[in-house]
Structure 1
Amino acid sequence: MKWKELIKIATDKGYRFYAHGKKHDIYVNDNGERLIVERHGSQEIRKGLMNSLKKQLGF
């Protein structure tokens, strides 16, 4: 999965853009949970990191 695809899934699940970091963007949902996303839109997400992000997003 690529970063752009993950952002699409996160926004569909209620996360919205909150802020830019130096190398990351921060998304939050209505509960205040944060999702930190690297700015590498077309690159594949590493397997271990993807597993952790899946748990955080609940899929």
Structure 2
Amino acid sequence: MSTVDGRWVKSSYSGDGQGSDCVEVDLGERVGVRDSKAPHGELHLSPAAWSAFLTKSGDR
């Protein structure tokens, strides 16, 4: 993981590490998720919903 904008974190699994195809996450009080190519379109989840998403994603 690497920090973007001081609070957003980019997964090391996202794209080539040069800013393309990146998902960024802000793990604050509400979990924010955004596409690095469209940073103004954020999705906000509760920590419980984020945890459930990660659990389901790992089932694949």
Tell me the TM-score normalised to structure 2 length.
0.35
Instruction: Look at both structures and tell me which one has the larger radius of gyration over its CA atoms.
Output: 2
- Identify which of structures 1 and 2 has the higher relative contact order when contacts are C-alpha pairs closer than 8 Å and 6+ apart: 1
Tell me the TM-score normalised to structure 1 length.
0.36
